[in-house]
């Protein structure tokens, strides 16, 4: 005996491994065995090779690496005895896969074995080839396999058939060779060969359409006859399962018939009889019978229309759904999902059962039922469905709540017949499962609320009631806080009562209480607290009586450790104390948020038509503290060194933080608050030499929450300029005042109101594009220049997705309005115009300079042009 | 196509037999086995035998202390696979005589041979117990 062999038989090793109590012990045993095996391999030991390989297989199954045994497999395969070959092939199939190069060495052995006289060895080789052959091996050995398809022994034929499936999958060119032999296989009597023959034909049909045609013409009747024979055949002990002869063959035949009948009326006609027979005569009290019925129904649904058959199929479906066995119900639901495409009305009849299934305790069934419900809902039945789903939401488990919530929200959004119903349902969902609701959903809710102006009173009262009931769900708190802030006066004065409401009395201090609760609650996160602060600020203008109290609450947050809150509270405090005159203007009711823009943004397209408004830019739609932002920015930008005033441009920050190609969300609505910040961010970036695009089509992005978060991140995590925010208790009042006033100017300046005229320049010209600037200034304001940029396309191709970006040095401030369109017609047929506003703080000392970047798509290429503009008129 | 893998796992989560018809690395296999087994072991008797995992389905059934799991494509007939599992168990039963987990462990290669006769490249080859067992019985007689 070889001194290096471990001496153990396989079962001893297994016993040793099983006796290990800990994983470390097991590893030790395995390592010892592996070492022994490796030593034996090195010694080239003949005697125990197959035993070693068996051990290796066991070890492999446990999950340890066993690649050193691969050559052993080869040697075993090459040996003459059957047991060795057997183990060798088994090891080959388990330990290797088709990507290993070692496989190439096996090809020769395989070839010899395929031509061996012993049919069992041929079978082995076919098995191995069928399981792991690679494309080259397949190509080499295909002729042998073809020949074997007609071998005398049925066992070989069936294995050859399955092997061929793999070959044609790997090498689709060889399909023609296999078509005719496959057709002849279908006429066999031996079940094994039949089953594999059918599978081979199925494989062929899937790979090549000409094979499909061929089979469709020649073999359909044959197949039908075979199925009929099997269905009618007497009891056969070999293949019988639960009283049905060879259900596997039944099912495979039905699958192939499905492929052949799909889309072809003649073939479908052939099959209708046998399908009807199978569907009606198969017993369904055993699993095997049900399996056949399942396949039958799938086939009926896929082939060309035949009314009677469909009715039969739907009946079977109904029976499945009411079966007590979970498996059958699951399968029934599956079938319904496929049937709904074809026979929607019939499926609606089973609505009640499906709803039952949603409440089932089994997770798989629940998921399927929920998907089905989603497909079933249409305008007429959305209300009862939603009611059921929301009732279920209250009792469902945590992990499922997320799914259901998402589905309910999308259902409600798609199909809601009227706004008040939508708001009601969303309120219920938020109260139940607000924590699972995604941000976009409650943002959309706010948009809808603001659009439904007659329902404002109703909404705010309902929210108030819900808020009083529980403050656990964050989203509910946020929406409630926002609404109370906006429509607080309606709440207190019971404005706009609807008939169905009960009157409630809410005083001003109650409303303020509610919001205070939101701020002080330990579970509120940053967004909620920030929103609450804004809401309080709004209320301070609407409820002048509570103004002192509100000021106190805001003041309390001045020392907050959270930057966002501290900033807001200080800014609001500032305005409350010093700038009373602008406060009311700041806090007017927000304009209606633009639903179409929101939806368009959600659909992923950049809205190009953006409504520019001439509202005072500070009065921003989503109540984000951008009004405060402007003053702060201007207050700060006196110290013009490297501090980028932390002005909002949500998009830019998000762009930086998330590296997504977003356009700046300055507002939920389409107002054009040009991101004044864009450039301010640029100011610092320029020194590093990269261009951060100041994008120009403001479309709502991640809306209010991002809007609110924008200041903090921009201020302290912009990555490039992480300078602490110098809070301006400031001294900058007078200059600040001036800049505040500046910011009040409507950006869309009419060019007629100009001061001195300046010559227009061709700012940038290349072979494909020209950009000209027209300048104008306001009479009293020499530092600010309004530029009208015009782009003309000099090439014969249309430019799409046109985007203009600009960067200016630190002493300048740049605003970009949205462009007139993003498509530039060819050859100067039209042009795009865009307004820019430049504020030169070093007016008189330095002239303007600008770096630009233009991006567009033409002929499916993305083109980027960059340049510097130096030819500004001197005294701009 | 069809069947992606066949696993036999005991109630403690140890794999007793694993046959994969698509290539996965060792780490992937262990991760997969761990996940799936955890899901199946957590289910009780009343729940249905089909679990959806990533982009395929798992059909499983428990026989005594051993779980038989078969991973199949999404378009495969699940009830048929349940029948197949039963057929597999019956075949092994006929060969080993009252098969139990230890039989499979100690005669792993025979279990593999049987499985190989029944399933090739993810498709079912032979469903007659006599045909499946005849080569194996011949081999035993010869050795």
* CB atoms B121 and A162 under 8 Å: yes
CB A392 within 8 A of CB A359: yes
CB A327 within 8 A of CB A368: no
* CB atoms B80 and A62 under 8 Å: no
User: What is the DSSP-derived secondary structure letter of residue A797?
Assistant: S
Q: What is the pLDDT of residue A849?
A: 80
* CB atoms A248 and B108 under 8 Å: no
Q: What is the mean pLDDT of residues B48-74?
A: 86
Q: Which residues contact A438 (CB under 8 A, 6 or more apart)?
A: A406, A409
* CB atoms B80 and A326 under 8 Å: no
Q: What is the mean pLDDT of residues A551-579?
A: 80
Q: Give which of A103, A118, A155 to mutate to test B binding, by max B Cβ within 10 Å.
A: A155
Give the C-alpha separation, A207 to A640, whole Å.
69
The per-residue pLDDT for range A731-744, each reduced to its tens digit, is 333 333 443 443 44
State the smallest CA–CA distance between residue B65 and chain A in angstroms: 16
Closest chain A CA to residue B109: A54
Q: How many other C-beta atoms lie within 10 A of the C-beta of residue A187? A: 13
CB A612 within 8 A of CB A817: yes
Picking from B17, B50, B109, the nearest residue to A54 by CB comes out as B109
The per-residue pLDDT for range A81-93, each reduced to its tens digit, is 787 888 888 888 8
Collect all residues of chain A within an 8 Å Cβ-Cβ radius of residue B30.
Answer: 63
Asked whether the predicted pLDDT for residue A698 surpasses 70, the reply is no
Collect all residues of chain A within an 8 Å Cβ-Cβ radius of residue B29.
Answer: 63
Specify the 3-state DSSP secondary structure of A853. strand
- Range of B104's domain? 3-142
Q: Rounded to the nearest 10 degrees, what angle do helices A382-395 and A419-433 cross at?
A: 10
Asked whether the predicted pLDDT for residue A700 surpasses 70, the reply is no
CB A807 within 8 A of CB A798: no
Q: Is A86 on the interface with B (CB under 8 A)?
A: yes
Q: What is the pLDDT of residue B70?
A: 92
Q: What is the mean pLDDT of residues B89-116?
A: 88
* CB atoms A90 and B87 under 8 Å: no
Minimal CA–CA distance to A697: which of A573, A821, A811? A821
Q: What is the pLDDT of residue A8?
A: 62
Q: Which residues contact A304 (CB under 8 A, 6 or more apart)?
A: A261, A263, A264, A265, A268
State the smallest CA–CA distance between residue B18 and chain A in angstroms: 7
Collect all residues of chain B within an 8 Å Cβ-Cβ radius of residue A258.
Answer: none
Q: Could you give the C-alpha distances from A818 to A656, A662, A696, in angstroms and in order?
A: 20, 14, 5
Give the C-alpha separation, A546 to A599, whole Å.
38
What are the two backbone dihedrals, phi and then psi, of residue B55, each rounded to the nearest 5 degrees?
-105, 20
Q: What is the mean pLDDT of residues B21-27?
A: 82
Picking from B121, B135, B142, the nearest residue to A130 by CB comes out as B121
Picking from B26, B48, B113, the nearest residue to A63 by CB comes out as B26
Q: Rounded to the nearest 10 degrees, what angle do helices A526-542 and A474-493 cross at?
A: 10
Helices (H), A45-153: 49-62, 70-78, 82-95, 102-114, 119-132, 135-148
* CB atoms A203 and B1 under 8 Å: yes
For residue A772, the surrounding DSSP H or E stretch is strand A769-778
The per-residue pLDDT for range A265-299, each reduced to its tens digit, is 777 777 788 888 888 877 777 788 888 888 888 88
Q: Which residues contact A670 (CB under 8 A, 6 or more apart)?
A: A594, A597, A607, A610, A611, A612, A613, A698, A699, A700
The per-residue pLDDT for range A446-463, each reduced to its tens digit, is 777 777 777 777 777 777
A780 class by beta-carbon count within 10 Å (0-12 exposed, 13-18 middle, 19+ buried)? exposed
Asked whether the predicted pLDDT for residue A716 surpasses 60, the reply is no
Picking from A291, A329, A363, the nearest residue to B83 by CB comes out as A291
**Residue corresponding to tokens 């030790």:** A28
Minimal CA–CA distance to A121: which of A145, A146, A89, A168? A89
Q: What is the pLDDT of residue A2?
A: 38
Asked whether the predicted pLDDT for residue A619 surpasses 50, the reply is no
**Residue corresponding to tokens 């970006």:** A805
Asked whether the predicted pLDDT for residue B81 surpasses 80, the reply is yes
Q: Dig out the tokens for A396 from the structure.
A: 């469902």
State the smallest CA–CA distance between residue A380 and chain B in angstroms: 32
Give the C-alpha separation, A593 to A667, whole Å.
9
Report the side by side order of strands in the sheet with A761-765: A761-765, A769-778, A781-793, A831-840, A812-816
Asked whether the predicted pLDDT for residue A250 surpasses 50, the reply is yes
Closest chain A CA to residue B112: A90
Q: What is the pLDDT of residue A529?
A: 80
The per-residue pLDDT for range A473-507, each reduced to its tens digit, is 777 778 777 877 777 777 777 766 666 666 666 77
* CB atoms B83 and A87 under 8 Å: no
State the smallest CA–CA distance between residue A150 and chain B in angstroms: 17
Q: Is A290 on the interface with B (CB under 8 A)?
A: yes
Q: Could you give the C-alpha distances from B101 to A738, B6, B64, B111, in angstroms and in order?
A: 87, 16, 9, 11
Asked whether the predicted pLDDT for residue A668 surpasses 70, the reply is no
Q: Give which of A64, A251, A357 to mutate to test B binding, by max B Cβ within 10 Å.
A: A251
Terminal-to-terminal C-alpha distance of chain B: 35
Helices (H), A789-863: none
Q: Could you give the C-alpha distances from A780 to A753, A754, A756, A872, A875, in angstroms and in order?
A: 10, 10, 11, 21, 15
Q: Give which of B56, B106, B109, B115 to mutate to test A binding, by max A Cβ within 10 Å.
A: B109
Terminal-to-terminal C-alpha distance of chain A: 100
Asked whether the predicted pLDDT for residue A627 surpasses 50, the reply is no
Q: What is the mean pLDDT of residues A772-786?
A: 77
Supply the mean pLDDT for chain A: 71
Q: What is the mean pLDDT of residues A777-805?
A: 79
Q: Could you give the ipTM of this predicted complex?
A: 0.71
Q: Dig out the tokens for B66 from the structure.
A: 């051993």
Residues 236 through 265 of chain A touching chain B, CB cutoff 8 Å: 238-239, 241, 246-249, 251, 255
Give the C-alpha separation, A272 to A236, whole Å.
26
Minimal CA–CA distance to A198: which of A278, A257, A154, A241? A257
CB pairs under 8 A between A and B: 155
Largest Cα separation within chain B, whole Å, is 46
Residues 107 through 136 of chain A touching chain B, CB cutoff 8 Å: 120, 123, 127, 130-131
* CB atoms B87 and A241 under 8 Å: yes
* CB atoms A238 and B131 under 8 Å: yes
Picking from A288, A295, A327, the nearest residue to B49 by CB comes out as A327
Whole-number percent of chain A with pLDDT over 90 = 0
Burial per residue of A361-393, b for 16 or more beta-carbon CB atoms within 10 angstroms, e otherwise: ebbbbbbbbbebbbebbeeeebeebbebbbebb
Minimal CA–CA distance to A835: which of A813, A851, A853, A815? A815
* CB atoms B121 and A57 under 8 Å: no
For residue A489, the surrounding DSSP H or E stretch is helix A474-493
Q: What is the pLDDT of residue A755?
A: 43
Report the CATH number that the domain containing residue B82 is assigned in CATH: 3.30.450.60
Strands A240-241 and A244-245, by their bridges, are antiparallel
Minimal CA–CA distance to A482: which of A530, A520, A431, A535? A535
* CB atoms B15 and A288 under 8 Å: no
State the smallest CA–CA distance between residue A17 and chain B in angstroms: 11
Q: Is A166 on the interface with B (CB under 8 A)?
A: yes
State the smallest CA–CA distance between residue A801 and chain B in angstroms: 36
Sign of CA pseudo-dihedral A135, B21, B3, A108: positive
Q: Give which of B40, B82, B116 to mutate to test A binding, by max A Cβ within 10 Å.
A: B116
Collect all residues of chain A within an 8 Å Cβ-Cβ radius of residue B48.
Answer: 325-327, 329-330, 362, 364-365
The per-residue pLDDT for range A203-238, each reduced to its tens digit, is 888 888 888 888 888 878 788 888 888 777 777 777
Q: Structural domain tally of chain B? A: 1
Collect all residues of chain A within an 8 Å Cβ-Cβ radius of residue B94.
Answer: none
CA contacts within 13 A on the Cβ side of A501: 20
């Amino acid at each position: 005996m070889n001194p290096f062999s471990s001496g153990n038989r396989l079962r001893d090793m297994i016993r040793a491994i099983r006796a290990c109590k800990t994983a470390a012990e097991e590893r030790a045993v395995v390592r010892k065995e592996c070492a022994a095996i490796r030593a034996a391999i090195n010694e080239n030991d003949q005697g125990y090779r197959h035993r070693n390989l068996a051990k290796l297989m066991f070890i492999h199954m446990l999950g340890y690496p066993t690649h050193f045994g691969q050559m052993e497999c080869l040697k075993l395969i090459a040996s003459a005895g059957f047991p060795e070959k057997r183990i060798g092939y088994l090891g080959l199939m388990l330990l290797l896969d088709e990507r290993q190069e070692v496989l190439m060495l096996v090809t020769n052995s395989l070839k010899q074995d395929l031509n061996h006289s012993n049919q069992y060895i041929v079978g082995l080789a076919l098995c191995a080839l069928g399981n792991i052959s690679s494309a080259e091996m397949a190509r080499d050995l295909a002729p042998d396999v073809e020949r074997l398809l007609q071998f005398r022994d049925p066992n070989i034929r069936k294995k050859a058939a399955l092997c061929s499936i793999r070959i044609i999958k790997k090498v689709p060119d060889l399909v023609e060779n296999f078509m005719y032999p496959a057709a002849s296989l279908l006429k066999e009597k031996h079940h094994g060969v039949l089953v594999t023959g059918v599978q081979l034909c199925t494989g062929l049909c899937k790979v090549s359409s000409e094979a499909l045609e061929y089979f469709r013409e020649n073999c359909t009747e044959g197949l039908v006859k075979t199925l009929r024979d099997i269905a009618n055949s007497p009891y056969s002990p070999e293949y019988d399962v639960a009283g049905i002869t060879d259900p596997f063959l039944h099912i495979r035949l039905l699958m192939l018939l499905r492929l052949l009948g799909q889309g072809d009326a003649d073939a479908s006609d052939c099959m209708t009889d046998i399908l009807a027979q199978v569907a009606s005569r198969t017993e369904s009290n055993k699993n095997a019978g049900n399996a056949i019925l399942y396949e039958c129904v799938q086939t009926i649904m896929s082939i060309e229309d035949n009314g009677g058959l469909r009715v039969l199929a739907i009946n079977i479906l109904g029976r499945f759904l009411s079966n007590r066995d979970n498996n059958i119900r699951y399968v029934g639901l599956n079938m319904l999902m496929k049937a709904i495409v074809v026979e929607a009305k019939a499926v609606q009849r089973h609505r009640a059962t499906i709803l039952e299934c949603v409440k089932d305790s089994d997770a798989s069934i629940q998921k399927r039922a929920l998907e089905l419900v989603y497909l079933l809902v249409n305008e007429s039945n959305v209300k009862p469905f939603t009611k059921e789903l929301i009732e279920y939401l209250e009792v469902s488990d945590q992990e499922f709540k997320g799914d259901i919530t998402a589905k309910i929200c999308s259902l409600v959004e798609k199909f809601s017949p009227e706004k008040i119903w939508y708001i009601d349902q969303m309120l219920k969902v938020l109260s139940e499962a607000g924590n699972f609701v995604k941000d976009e959903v409650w943002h959309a809710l706010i948009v809808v609320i603001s659009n439904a102006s007659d329902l404002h009173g109703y909404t705010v009262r309902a929210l108030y009631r819900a808020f009083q009931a529980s403050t656990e769900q964050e989203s509910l708190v946020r929406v409630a806080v926002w609404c109370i802030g906006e429509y607080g006066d309606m709440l207190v004065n019971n404005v706009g009562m609807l008939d169905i409401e009960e009157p409630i009395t809410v005083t001003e201090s109650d409303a303020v209480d509610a919001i205070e609760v939101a701020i002080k609650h330990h579970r509120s996160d940053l967004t909620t607290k920030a929103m609450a602060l804004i809401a309080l600020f709004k209320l301070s203008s609407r409820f002048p009586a509570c103004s002192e109290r509100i000021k106190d609450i805001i003041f309390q947050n001045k020392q907050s450790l959270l930057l966002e809150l501290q900033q807001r509270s200080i800014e609001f405090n500032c305005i409350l104390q010093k700038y009373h005159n602008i406060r009311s203007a700041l806090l007017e009711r927000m304009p209606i948020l633009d639903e179409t823009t929101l939806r368009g943004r959600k659909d992923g397209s950049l809205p190009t038509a953006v409504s520019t408004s001439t509202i005072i830019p500070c009065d921003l739609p989503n109540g984000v503290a951008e009004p405060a932002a402007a003053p702060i920015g201007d207050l700060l930008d006196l110290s013009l060194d490297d501090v980028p005033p932390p002005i909002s441009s949500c998009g830019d920050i998000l762009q930086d933080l998330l590296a997504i190609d977003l356009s700046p969300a300055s507002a939920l609505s389409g107002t054009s608050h040009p991101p004044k910040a864009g450039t301010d961010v640029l100011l610092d970036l320029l020194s590093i030499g990269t261009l951060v695009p100041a994008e120009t089509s403001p479309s709502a992005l991640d809306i209010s929450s991002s809007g609110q978060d924008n200041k903090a991140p921009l201020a302290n995590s912009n990555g490039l300029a992480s300078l602490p925010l110098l809070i301006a208790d400031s001294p900058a009042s007078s200059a600040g005042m001036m800049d505040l006033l500046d910011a009040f100017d409507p950006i869309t300046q009419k060019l007629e109101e100009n001061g001195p005229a300046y010559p227009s320049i061709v700012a940038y010209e290349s072979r494909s594009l020209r950009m000209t600037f027209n300048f104008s200034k306001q009479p009293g304001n020499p530092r600010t220049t309004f530029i009208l940029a015009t782009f003309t396309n000099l090439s014969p191709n249309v430019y799409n997705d046109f985007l203009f970006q600009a960067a200016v040095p630190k002493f300048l401030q740049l605003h970009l309005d949205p462009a007139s369109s993003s498509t530039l017609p060819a050859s100067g047929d039209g042009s795009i115009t865009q307004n820019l506003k430049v504020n030169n703080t070093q007016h008189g000392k330095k002239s303007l300079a600008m770096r630009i970047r233009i991006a567009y798509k033409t002929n499916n290429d993305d083109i980027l042009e960059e340049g510097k503009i130096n030819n500004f008129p001197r005294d701009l | 196509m069809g069947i992606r893998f066949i696993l036999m796992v005991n109630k403690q989560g140890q794999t007793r037999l694993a046959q994969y018809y698509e290539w996965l690395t060792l780490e992937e296999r262990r991760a997969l086995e761990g996940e799936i087994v955890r899901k199946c072991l957590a289910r009780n008797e009343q729940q249905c035998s089909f679990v959806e995992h990533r982009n395929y389905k798992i059909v499983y059934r428990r026989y005594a202390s051993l779980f038989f799991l078969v991973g199949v494509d999404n378009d495969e007939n699940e009830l048929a696979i349940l029948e197949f599992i039963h057929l597999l168990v019956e075949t092994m039963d006929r060969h080993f005589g009252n098969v139990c987990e230890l039989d499979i462990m100690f005669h792993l290669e025979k279990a593999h041979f049987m499985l190989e006769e029944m399933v090739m490249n993810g498709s079912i080859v032979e469903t007659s117990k006599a045909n499946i067992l005849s080569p194996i019985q011949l081999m035993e007689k010869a050795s």
